[in-house]
Amino acid sequence: MRTHPASRPVVVWLWATTLMLLTMIVVGGVTRLTGSGLSIVRWEPVVGALPPLSATDWERVFALYRETPQYALVNAGMDVEGFKSIFWWEYIHRLLGRAIGVVVFVPLVVFWWTERLDRRRALVLLGIFCLGGLQGFIGWYMVQSGLINVPQVSHYRLTLHLSLGFLLFALVLWQALDVSLGAARHSAVDEHPPSPGFRRGVIAILTLVSITAVSGGLVAGLRAGHAFPTFPLMLGQWVPPGLLAHEPVWRNFLDSAVTVQFQHRVLAVAVLIAAAGLSVAARRAALPKEARQAADLLLALVCVQAALGITTLLLHVPVWAAAAHQGNAALLIAGCLNLLHVLTAGAPAAQSAPVPSPAPATSH
């Protein structure tokens, strides 16, 4: 849309950052799915920006990897060329994280100094930058859990890392929507104000999508998709045996591969039903055309996500399908936020970024 000339660089910056965060989510998924996340065993935020540059460097890094449980139990006998194939995914993942930090911080300082950002928005973006720094630390905290005895990261830490990655994406996306489309959407909302009930419905589906995405992190961390590669039945039944076998019962929803996979499927079906209902409600309500289109787009994204999830299961979790499923989860959150923004743009509370429920940089 047409914006004031002074704001165009800010718009480009925020959308570029949003795209980089989406890429980070997908690359993080590939890193995890290819078993690459444990290939770099040290966290060196500064000097680690450079990859091995000589044969001696490669041998040194590979020697460190050979001391890990993953090498001993999974990749024993791997040579340095095989190591490079997993090293590069983790390296790209970490390098992209560093690049996002620079892309956020340097323009933020410039735009704030030149008054292209108001103080409130600049402080919000500074907070997001600090949250991104925390994400880098949590990523290393996650990797450490797979370097001790078992060559698999903690599913709790993985889910935390994945959820924070989705939250960062959502926060920057909201800022991009507000800066680039806020004024035009304000006019549309003034002409066709939505009912409070419809807006609450959108918030509810955003929350449901976020919870489903978080549960996806648990599914990935427990490798539950590998364990039950059938749909719609699990172990040949609608309600699989062993669903609540662990004690206390609440641990099943976090630690049982059977229960975690089952609850993820139930949540996914709930999201599909809710999105369909919201699309129908949008057509019946006196909403701006853009809101109806946003509701339809949301339903389309939900259908794509369901298809990708089923495909991932039936094909025994191929990298391309699982990574696309993770990436589309981010787009699904974006669809929810886009619809919510259409309904709230221009309202006083919309001038600062709301904090959506955390959902699923990415996992290793």
Is residue 325 within 8 Å of residue 305, measured between CB atoms? yes
- 364 occurs within a structural domain: no
* Cα–Cα dist 225/211, whole Å: 18
- 363 occurs within a structural domain: no
Q: Which residues contact 117 (CB under 8 A, 6 or more apart)?
A: 10, 108, 111, 125
- 359 occurs within a structural domain: no
Both structure tokens of 160: 């935390």
Number of domains into which the chain is organized = 1
Domain of residue 311, residue span: 5-351
* Cα–Cα dist 339/295, whole Å: 6
pLDDT of residue 166: 98
pLDDT of residue 284: 86
- 54 occurs within a structural domain: yes
Q: Hey, what's the torsion of the CAs at 257, 260, 264, 267, to 10 degrees?
A: 160
pLDDT of residue 189: 57
Encode the chain (364 residues) as per-residue pLDDT tens digits: 444 444 899 999 999 999 999 999 999 999 999 999 999 998 887 767 899 999 999 999 999 999 999 999 999 999 999 999 999 999 999 999 999 999 999 999 999 999 999 999 999 999 999 999 999 999 999 999 999 888 899 999 999 999 999 999 999 999 999 998 876 676 655 566 667 888 899 999 999 999 999 999 999 999 999 989 999 999 899 999 999 988 899 999 999 999 999 999 999 999 999 999 999 998 888 787 888 999 999 999 999 999 999 999 999 999 999 999 999 999 999 999 999 998 886 444 333 344 444 444 444 3
Alpha helices in 51-118 (DSSP H): 55-65, 69-73, 80-113
Is residue 100 within 8 Å of residue 169, measured between CB atoms? no
- 260 occurs within a structural domain: yes
Is residue 39 within 8 Å of residue 74, measured between CB atoms? no
**Residues recorded for the chain:** 364
* Cα–Cα dist 212/273, whole Å: 13
- 165 occurs within a structural domain: yes
Helix (H, G, I), strand (E, B) or coil at 152: coil
Phi, psi of 68 (to 5 degrees): -90, 155
Is residue 279 within 8 Å of residue 298, measured between CB atoms? yes
pLDDT of residue 47: 63
Cβ neighbours around 106 below 10 Å, total: 11
Q: Which residues contact 310 (CB under 8 A, 6 or more apart)?
A: 231
- 48 occurs within a structural domain: yes
pLDDT of residue 285: 83
pLDDT of residue 186: 65
- 356 occurs within a structural domain: no
Phi, psi of 228 (to 5 degrees): -135, 75
DSSP structure string for 231-262 = SS-BTTBSS-TTTT-SSSGGGHHHH-HHHHHH
